[in-house]
Amino acid sequence: MKDKIAFITGAAKGIGRATAVALSTSGCQVILTDIDQNALDQTKNEIENAGGKATTYLLDVSSQEQVNAVHQKALKEHQHIDYFVNNAGIGGVLTPIHLMTAENWNNVINVDLNSIFYCLHAQINILLPQGGGNIVNVASLAGKKGVMAGSHYSAAKHGVIGITKSAAIEYGAHNIRVNAICPSFLETDIIQAVPQQILDFVKQHRVPLKRHGKAEEAGETIKWLLSDQSSFVNGHALVMDGGMNAG
Ligand code: NAI
């Protein structure tokens, strides 16, 4: 992956940060985008202290205007971009449907689903004239199953898998691969909203590996999907759940 350039959303923390570190370790130059400038700076410093190369841009993925502007700026400053990781996301306020406000619903759909359309729209328009490239969308196991008190999140992530498969069909002939990952619980900030007894129950009774995943494990999986090692994998929504859904 030497000399490849990777653009990552939600890159300041969690899975995005771990993906940036994994890609940088493999020789990629990384473009880090997020709404949290302080955390972005920390991740950039960490990568550069380890000998990598990183650029940061503030980007709220729920704004198509910002998505277009930052992609154009990044392209102008880097000449080409090979890989895109659409990772930024939120869990939203957990609540059953009959108590959910439209504001809560729309917020999650905007950040977790509409953003994927905005990003893919901008990215495909960069990759088509370049002659190809690879994209990974971060969906969730919630994109394959319903979620108690998380209908907005589940609906958004089902949508992410749908647009991933559609994009793979539309652009495979243009040498553009589009895949998704579907993790179960990973130890990042986002699961702080989930009650501890649910996290403990799932770990003890549902996950055969008896633990939750780590952001670094998602980063390595994303790196593999972007790399030529997965060159015939396209339109796939790869479950990483410690075997939870194997039985
Ligand atoms: P995290 O909370 O550690 O990181 C999310 C990052 O996204 C943060 O840096 C945050 O500032 C950024 N972000 C939030 N809203 C944004 C916006 N509007 N525009 C740009 N950046 C924004 O959480 P984590 O776990 O790293 O989440 C990353 C992705 O992984 C999300 O899409 C999430 O739905 C997905 N995921 C996480 C799982 C988990 O258990 N941690 C399981 C399955 C999927």
pLDDT of residue 76: 98
- Is pTM beyond 0.95? Reply is yes
Cβ contact 242:205 at 8 Å: no
**Is 57 an active-site residue?**
no
Whether 111 lines ligand 1, by a CB cut-off of 6 Å, is yes
Q: Atom of ligand 1 at shortest distance to CA of 184?
A: 42
Beta strand pairing call for 176-183 and 5-9: unpaired
Give the list of residues 6+ apart from residue 215 with CB closer than 8 angstroms, or none.
14, 15, 17, 18, 186, 187, 188
Whether 87 lines ligand 1, by a CB cut-off of 6 Å, is yes
Among 57, 83, 118, 153, the one annotated catalytic: 153
Give the list of residues 6+ apart from residue 171 with CB closer than 8 angstroms, or none.
124, 127, 128, 178
Residue keyed to tokens 């494990």? 217
Cβ contact 242:141 at 8 Å: no
Q: Atom of ligand 1 at shortest distance to CA of 16?
A: 26
49 confidence band (pLDDT: 50, 70, 90) = very high
**Identity (one letter) of the amino acid at 47?**
I
Going from N- to C-terminal start, the domains of the chain cover 5-239
Q: Which of 7, 8, 9, 15 to mutate to test the pocket of ligand 1 (most atoms within 8 A of CB)?
A: 15
Read off the pLDDT of residues 184-222 as tens digits, 9 standing for 90 and up: 999 999 999 999 999 999 999 999 999 999 999 999 999
Q: Which of 8, 13, 64 to mutate to test the pocket of ligand 1 (most atoms within 8 A of CB)?
A: 13
Whether 60 lines ligand 1, by a CB cut-off of 6 Å, is yes
Q: For domain 5-239, give the CATH number.
A: 3.40.50.720
